[in-house]
Amino acid sequence: MVQSQAFVHAGLDARRAVVCNSAMDHVDRRPDAIFLMGPTASGKTALACALSERFPLQLVSVDSALVYRGLDIGAAKPDAATLARHPHGLIDIREPTAPYSAAEFRADALAAMAEITRAGAVPLLVGGTGLYFRALEHGLSALPDADPALRAELADEATRLGWPALHARLAELDPDAAARIRPGDAQRIQRALEVIALTGRPLSAQQQGPRERLPWRVLKLALVPGERGPLHARIAQRFDAMLADGFLDEARRLRALPGWHADLPAMRAVGYRQVWPHLEGTIAAGEFRDRAIFATRQLAKRQITWLRSELDARWFDPDRPTVGEDAAAAVAAFLDPARRATECASGTFFLPEQIVKMPAS
The reported pLDDT for the residue numbered 257 is 93
Q: Is the pLDDT of residue 94 over 70?
A: yes
Q: Does residue 201 form part of some domain?
A: yes
Query: What is the mean pLDDT of the segment spanning 288-315?
Result: 97
CA distances from 302 to 129, 131, 307 (A): 10, 12, 9
124 and 162 together in one domain: no
Q: Does 297 reside within a domain?
A: yes
Please report whether residue 335 resides in a domain: yes
3 has a pLDDT exceeding 60 = no
Q: Answer with the one of 158, 184, 206 that is the final residue of a domain.
A: 206
What is the CATH number for 266? 3.40.50.300
Asked if residue 156 and residue 10 are part of one domain, the reply reads: no
Q: Are residues 182 and 228 in the same domain?
A: no
Mark whether 178 and 40 lie in a shared domain. no
Overall domain count for the chain: 3
Q: Are residues 23 and 41 in the same domain?
A: no
Whether residue 184 sits in one domain with residue 110: no
- Same domain assignment for residues 121 and 270: yes
Residue 201 vs residue 225, higher pLDDT:
225
Confidence (pLDDT) at 26: 61
pLDDT at 225 over 50: yes
Per-residue pLDDT averaged across 248-276, rounded? 93
Whether 244 and 335 share a structural domain: no
Single residue among 163, 178, 206 that ends a domain in this structure: 206
Using DSSP's 3-state secondary structure scheme, residue 342 falls into helix
Q: How far is it, in rounded angstroms, from Cα 344 to Cα 84?
A: 42
pLDDT > 70? residue 336: yes
Distance CA 344, CA 99 (A): 49
The CA angle 310-86-41, to the nearest 5 degrees, is: 45
Alpha helices in the chain (DSSP H): 2-25, 44-54, 80-85, 102-118, 130-138, 148-161, 163-173, 175-180, 186-199, 203-206, 228-244, 247-255, 272-279, 285-307, 323-335, 339-346
Is the residue at 153 inside a domain?
yes
Query: What pLDDT does 68 receive?
Result: 98
Q: Which residues pair with 62 in a beta bridge?
A: 127
Instruction: Say if residue 232 is in the same domain as residue 84.
Output: yes
Kindly state whether residues 128 and 40 are assigned to the same domain: yes
Residue 340 included in any domain = yes
Axis crossing angle, helix 102-118 with helix 130-138, rounded to the nearest 10: 60
Q: Could you tell me how far CA 72 lies from the centroid of its own chain?
A: 18
Bigger pLDDT: 144 or 333?
A: 333
Q: How far is CA 279 from the centre of its chain?
A: 30
* pLDDT digits 0-9 by tens, 176-216: 989 989 888 888 899 899 989 988 888 888 777 656 789 99
Domain around 335: 2-28+327-357
Task: Indicate the range of 162-171, 217-226, 334-343 predicted with least confidence.
Answer: 334-343
318, amino acid identity? P
**pLDDT tens by residue, 28-74:** 889 999 999 999 999 999 999 999 999 999 999 999 999 999 999 99
Which pLDDT belongs to residue 4?
Answer: 44
pLDDT attached to residue 200: 87
Q: What is the dihedral of CA 328, 330, 331, 334, to 10 degrees?
A: 160
CB 30 within 8 A of CB 216: yes
Using the predicted structure, report yes or no on whether residue 350 has a pLDDT greater than 60: no
Q: Which of 170, 333, 233, 104 is nearest to 179 (CA)?
A: 170
112 domain residue, yes or no: yes
Identify the domain boundary among 159, 183, 206. Answer: 206
Tell me the average pLDDT of the chain.
Answer: 86
For the stretch 5-16, pLDDT in tens is: 443 344 434 444
The answer to whether residues 118 and 222 belong to one domain is yes
Residue at 211 is within a domain: no
Is there a domain that residue 287 lies in?
Answer: yes
Give percent of the chain with pLDDT exceeding 70. 85
- Do residues 343 and 349 touch, judged by C-beta distance below 8 A? yes
Q: Is 274's pLDDT higher than 60? A: yes
Q: Residue 262: which H helix or E strand, with range?
A: none
Q: Are residues 71 and 111 in the same domain?
A: yes
pLDDT tens by residue, 139-177:
887 777 788 888 888 888 888 999 999 899 999 999 998
Q: What CATH number is associated with residue 172?
A: 1.10.20.140
